[in-house]
Chains A and B, each alone.
Chain A
Amino acid sequence: MAITLGEGAWHDILNELATQLNRPGAQSFFHGARVFLETGDRAFDVLQIEELIALLAQHEMTLTAVSGETRTQDAFEQARATMPAPPESLALETGESPAPTTTPKEAHALLVQRTVRSGQTCQYAGTIVIIGDVNPGAQVVAEGDVIVWGKLRGVVHAGAAGDANAMVGALILAPTQLRIGEHIARAPDEKRARQFPEVARVRDGRIVVEPWIGM
């Protein structure tokens, strides 16, 4: 489920959210939900994100992704690093889970249906699918794959937790910089983007871009 935060003081918002979650019937409905937080242009600090995570945890909900200003994204990352993670996401984030059949990218995907504009960041501990463009100055960071049904021109990082098997695919693949796991490639200085879908993968220690014919 997605939560979009509106105007107002932080604690008013948090109280309102708590009230909503405590409504009769809401308990069982939201139980176990994975939450995607849309923060708009508000910036949150680590403490606020931690409060939110704690509130959601009372209802056995998990905050799995945040979309909004880069500052808020950083706060989310910090909060995740310091908070005791719930068992389910622990496996996803630390990669300590021995079960190779449930890699992050197979387990969860985040669907983003808008243009990601300059200054905006999309970050997720799984695969990100974007229906829309990723403009120059925008950032997409996924622990799994990144798939863009549109023009990808910002900075993209797939397999951000170190997975070199992750891939990046786009209808028009023209990122400012492309990272997969530990590998980095940048756009050639003069080449114009090719007008057909392409996919980038790591082969023999290098990022290789080729026409996208099926996954």
Chain B
Amino acid sequence: MPGRVITITSGKGGVGKTTATANIGVALARRGQRVACVDADIGLRNLDVVMGLENRIVYDLVDVVEGRARLRQALIKDKRLPELQLLPAAQTREKSAVNGKQMIRLCDELKKEFDFVLIDSPAGIELGFKNALAPADQVLIIVTPEVSAVRDADRVIGLAEASEKPSPKLIINRLRPAMVRRGEMMDTADVLEVLAIELIGIVPEDETIITSTNKGQPVALEDRTAAGAAFTRIAQRLLGEDVPFQTFDESAGLLDRLARLFRSQ
């Protein structure tokens, strides 16, 4: 069976696309899935740093597309998880170095070898985003509980729907339960009310993300941290397991009801 191409995107920058891609990739690989993480942010590559593989890059995505390297030469095996590999972005080129058709062809190749192809989309809605969206079988939208991030997510959902992708699924990132309790932050229900798509995960704000990102050690390598456990649950849901949503002290009943409401659609 060919693998699934999942594009992780958000519209707005800095909401956690790259961190989510790395951690969902790690969590899937820990469950025995063969995973290729593809950095589509050409010119601003980051995924290699977050995954701790920066110093092993020889060839990149553009080298493969332009025929200077074979796919197998450019893929970097993760030192911790043999099932996990990275296709890094070119740092010295621009988004226009590839087009949607080339991305589709590239992903068709990757699908033969991998169960999951995770594409880390650049921010924005321009060419880089369109390239990342083109090969997607499924789209995950990352949003933080902020009005501006929700607005951008809505825009991107509209664009994904317009290009006839299946309805995207939503990850709410960096939720701060204490602030929600004080009524100072949008809660899950507020976000879902606007975006009206299926929720696939809630990741609480977690300081360990910052240190782990800097060290190139994704938190999902272990389930000790709240964020790591949350990414693991997202991976389980992608594999079709029915994992209950954590409530993070939010008003429990309502959240579960909403989650169920959006799953049943």
Binding site for B on A (CB under 8 A): 40-41, 68, 114-115, 117-120, 133, 135-137, 151, 153
Contacts and interface: CB of A to CB of B under 8 A. Distances in A.
Given A117-B158, A118-B152, A120-B158, A135 B163 contact: no
Given A40-B163, A136-B151, A137-B151, A118 B158 contact: yes
A39 to B, nearest CB: 8
Contacts of B154: 117-119, 135-137
Contacts of A137: 151, 154-155
Given A133-B196, A135-B194, A136-B194, A119 B155 contact: yes
A118 B152 CA distance: 7
B159 interface: yes
Nearest to A151: B193
B162 interface: yes
A206 to B, nearest CB: 29
Contacts of A117: 154-155, 157-158, 161
A120 B158 CA distance: 8
A144 B178 CA distance: 47
A114 B193 CA distance: 15
A41 B155 contact: no
A115 to B, nearest CB: 6
Contact of B162 (A68, A135, A151, A153): A68
B151 A41 contact: no
Nearest to A153: B194
A119 B158 contact: yes
A83 to B, nearest CB: 26
Contacts of A40: 162-164
Interface string B37-76: 0000000000000000000000000000000000000000
Given A118-B151, A137-B151, A41 B159 contact: yes
Contacts of B152: 118
A40 B196 CA distance: 19
Contacts of B157: 117
Contacts of B161: 114, 117
A115 B162 contact: no
Contacts of A136: 147, 151, 154, 194
A153 B190 CA distance: 14
A120 B193 CA distance: 18
Interface in B174-214: 193-194, 196
Given A118-B158, A137-B155, A41 B196 contact: no
A133 B193 CA distance: 10
Given A118-B152, A119-B154, 16 more contacts: A40-B164, A41-B158, A41-B162, A41-B163, A68-B162, A114-B161, A115-B196, A117-B157, A119-B125, A119-B158, A133-B196, A135-B194, A136-B147, A136-B194, A137-B151, A137-B154
